[in-house]
Structure 1
Amino acid sequence: MYKVVQIQLFDKSAGSSALRLHNGLSKSDIYRSNGISLFKDDITNEGFEYLGKWPQLIAYANNFIERKFCRYDSSKFGLYSYPLIGTDISKLKLIRDADVIYIHWVLLGFFDFTSFENIFKLNKKVFIVMHDMWFMTGGCHHVMDCKLYKENCQACPIFPEDPSIASSQHVKKYKLISKYGNMLEFITPSLWLKNLALKSSLLKNQKIHFIPNYFDSHHFKVDSQNEARALLSIDPTKLVVCFGAVNISSIYKGWSFLKKAFIHLKEMFSYDQLEVVIFGNGDLDEFENSIDFKIHYLGFLKDENKIALAYKVSDVFVIPSILDNQPTTIVESMNCGVPVVGFNLCGIPEMIQHKKTGYIAEAYNSYDLANGIRYCLNHDLDVKLMDDYKPGNVLAAHYKLLNP
């Protein structure tokens, strides 16, 4: 039996893609999938091994030192990571026995550069799943408008007083990839990120595959909207707009644009016509002060059945993200039969068929975002997931990689 290991910082929330792929591969009789996480959710997931307190203390220490070493404006530039210390997991039995290793998101003190190299030294096939841009930059997770990733990240705008912070990390990555690149392959969940990676100085000569993130369609499927609304006490006669993300306040998620869109929606719909469902980490007071419609705030949701319920009560899902690779919320929503409205940015337009399965709004245009919401509410769209994103096809793409 072919042994596959998924490595991820968390096994849920932002780390759910690794767990979902593990669960998908576990359905096969050919592959034995396991996972390794530094932190675990409230429950222990079958097939996952969780590291103890000492590696977690190392992570906390790294994050403390990193904050002192890398001072920058995260509200302007988003997340930046320079792993200084980490945990070596190359000697774990699951790693030693593995035929193939998938490395997902392993920063925030889990891996440092030695951790990566010790895995690469094992001479096993390694797939690095790029959930953001970190592997192709000098440390930023999203390049925003910067083009320095195409060169060597010198003169990094994040650190104007010491731009060598980014360029030195770029050099470390270059050495690693130059030394072990023949056994590394990269996976991007969007064509948008694949194309950017192929333009980067670090990954332009690497094998890069486009494979969307896997999700379990058992939870996310078309069901009775009226029955779903009864569970959340939502009037079946109302039009319902849904918005959700793990961290709604993240600068990447575009909350400021959605706030403005709701101002325009107030001119398009009366208070009695429209209601709003929101899920994820956020501030209810901020929502109530920004949205002049009735709000159903569900908070942060871990259970996939509850996440699916949020889609099923809705008439349209809106994703105002300005930086998003391959938003899982889009495939989840569409598989529940709910159209999606998003900006013409990043991986989002790849997933939406304009005016067929949703609406692609002009980038950064809050009025057009509102117009897209109105369009989807006023039209009966035939919402179907595109073939690339269907769970069976995603697994088939991984099987092809595992058996070239």
Structure 2
Amino acid sequence: MKVVILNTADAHGGAAIASWRLLHALVGEGVDARMLVVDRTTADPLVDVAGTAEQRRWAFLRERIGIFAANGLNRRDLFKVSTARYGVDVLSHPWLRSADVVCLNWINQGMLSLTDIGRLAAMGKRLVWTLHDMWCMTGICHHAYGCDGYERECGHCRFMRFPYGNDLSHRVWKRKKRIYDNADIHFVAVSGWLADCCRRSALLEGRAVSVIHNAMAVDSYSWQRTGNKDKKVVTMGAARLDDPVKGFGLLIEAANVIADSHPDCNIELQLFGSIRDESLLGQIRLPYRWVGAVAPEKVADLMAAGDVVVSSSHFETFGMTLAEGQAAGCLAVAFDHGGQSDIITHRRDGWLAAYPDADSLAEGILWAVSQSVDRKALHDSVAARFSYGAVARKYIDLFNELLRKE
């Protein structure tokens, strides 16, 4: 069995990291797997670049210019939407041409066009599309942010400066439907919540959707507590802490609820990730330590130095930092609003707070720091659910099922 994974990058962003981990999870189970990207930053011999730098540059620019023009020359939400109007020449790459199964992951911003997805299906390839956001089921947006337009046919898009019934979101929605109707694509959601969104989607309703979680190198996480054990350390991390989706303001509010109601709580926040507005940190009334952006391989050490991992995100398609924290023996606290509920069982291995209630999030943090935790049991639970082997075997079963249909 030959498998090729397509993703825009091999190291930058959550989808890239998840795709690279899936690649090595499959290889570890004996699959002949490769990965094609347009933004390669690793020296991994199992990863190659599709197309040319010039093709990617023009595909990216032409798509963004088209969105900019369709949106009345408004740049504000330029990167919250994609159209997949243009892409590089992926189809001629020998790895793809010899593949039995092609796994589409995050293929936007100049990687793969919708037209070429249709051509892939016409080549007789078995197509599996792993969803790392909501783009496959919406017209153009990567996250619906509470909008239910994707449950119909989009249009009147909140990301358009002049929304109307046949705006860019509706026109791309119709293009996607034509492609999907003529391509046998099996969709994979990385959480039950995302799968539920698929079933409500007018684009994906009635189509084949499975749930397979993201893979983790669980063995690289130690459940042994390190660092300052005199403090109860609560960790939050993200690529960018003040990304609006991450709900950093809600974490600040919850931290201040704790600081005001439990001034002797002995809690310290440990924060990692970039932040554009550093003045936000000055609003936190609990002791905190911000370490800035960190490389993915450093996350395990930070998690091992904590007792609790928290996410204040408005939603997560999966919630990898929560699983990483549990792999290091931390209880996890998050809102019950997204893929977080696939990771946390309320009051057993964490706390699912009422969304978007900062008081409930604070209550969860206080509950978590008060618990006596079997850190190894938390680690083992993550290994059983999200290890390379556990996830790869689910994909292999799916691939075999699809190949038997020939």
Aligned length: 390
The separation in 2 between residues aligned to 1:218 and 1:92, in whole angstroms, is 34
Q: CA deviation at 1:143?
A: 1.7
Q: Indicate the residue corresponding to 1:187 in structure 2.
A: 188
Alignment partner of 1:393 is 2:390: yes
Maintained 8 Å contact 1:11/1:40: yes
Structure 1 segments unaligned to the other structure (5+ residues):
230-234
- Root-mean-square deviation (CA, aligned residues, Å) is 2.2
Please state whether the residue corresponding to 1:403 is helix, strand or coil: helix
The change in CA–CA distance for 1:288 and 1:159 in structure 2 (over 3 A counts) is closer
The separation in 2 between residues aligned to 1:347 and 1:129, in whole angstroms, is 14
Query: Where does 1:350-369 land on structure 2 (aligned, <5 Å)?
Result: 350-369=342-361
| Residue 318 (structure 1) aligned to one of 310, 330, 340 | 310
Maintained 8 Å contact 2:59/2:86: yes
Q: Indicate the residue corresponding to 1:232 in structure 2.
A: none
Q: Indicate the residue corresponding to 1:329 in structure 2.
A: 321
Q: Indicate the residue corresponding to 2:58 in structure 1.
A: 58
Q: Indicate the residue corresponding to 2:8 in structure 1.
A: 9
The change in CA–CA distance for 1:261 and 1:77 in structure 2 (over 3 A counts) is farther
The separation in 1 between residues aligned to 2:67 and 2:295, in whole angstroms, is 29
Deviations 1:364-396 (A, max 9, x none): 001111111111001113452364434432122
The separation in 2 between residues aligned to 1:158 and 1:400, in whole angstroms, is 39
Q: Which one-letter code corresponds to 1:248 in the other structure?
A: L
Maintained 8 Å contact 2:131/2:188: yes
The change in CA–CA distance for 1:162 and 1:236 in structure 2 (over 3 A counts) is closer
Q: Indicate the residue corresponding to 1:141 in structure 2.
A: 142
Q: Indicate the residue corresponding to 1:32 in structure 2.
A: 32
Q: CA deviation at 1:285?
A: 2.6
Q: Indicate the residue corresponding to 1:166 in structure 2.
A: 169
Which TM-score applies when normalising by structure 2? 0.90
Which TM-score applies when normalising by structure 1? 0.90
| Residue 242 (structure 2) aligned to one of 239, 243, 249 | 249
Q: CA deviation at 1:262?
A: 1.3
Query: Where does 1:223-242 land on structure 2 (aligned, <5 Å)?
Result: 223=224, 225-226=225-226, 229=227, 235-242=228-235
Q: CA deviation at 1:160?
A: 6.1
Q: Indicate the residue corresponding to 1:107 in structure 2.
A: 108
Query: Where does 1:209-288 land on structure 2 (aligned, <5 Å)?
Result: 209-223=210-224, 225-226=225-226, 229=227, 235-270=228-263, 273-283=266-276, 285-288=278-281
The separation in 2 between residues aligned to 1:105 and 1:99, in whole angstroms, is 20
Structure 2 segments unaligned to the other structure (5+ residues):
402-406
Please state whether the residue corresponding to 2:219 is helix, strand or coil: coil
The separation in 1 between residues aligned to 2:176 and 2:40, in whole angstroms, is 28
Q: CA deviation at 1:54?
A: 1.4
The separation in 2 between residues aligned to 1:191 and 1:78, in whole angstroms, is 26
The separation in 1 between residues aligned to 2:239 and 2:277, in whole angstroms, is 15
Q: Which one-letter code corresponds to 2:318 in the other structure?
A: Q
Deviations 1:302-334 (A, max 9, x none): 242x11011100110110111211111121111
Q: Which one-letter code corresponds to 2:314 in the other structure?
A: I
The change in CA–CA distance for 1:45 and 1:271 in structure 2 (over 3 A counts) is farther
Q: CA deviation at 1:189?
A: 0.7
The separation in 2 between residues aligned to 1:272 and 1:379, in whole angstroms, is 14
Query: Where does 1:364-379 land on structure 2 (aligned, <5 Å)?
Result: 364-379=356-371
Q: CA deviation at 1:273?
A: 2.1
Q: Indicate the residue corresponding to 1:71 in structure 2.
A: 71
Q: CA deviation at 1:296?
A: 2.4
Alignment partner of 1:293 is 2:286: yes
Deviations 1:167-221 (A, max 9, x none): 10010000000111xx210000111111121121111121101000111112123
Please state whether the residue corresponding to 1:26 is helix, strand or coil: helix
Maintained 8 Å contact 1:77/1:144: no
Deviations 1:323-350 (A, max 9, x none): 2111111211111110110001011123
Please state whether the residue corresponding to 1:33 is helix, strand or coil: strand
Maintained 8 Å contact 1:322/1:364: yes
Q: Which one-letter code corresponds to 1:103 in the other structure?
A: L
Maintained 8 Å contact 2:115/2:179: no
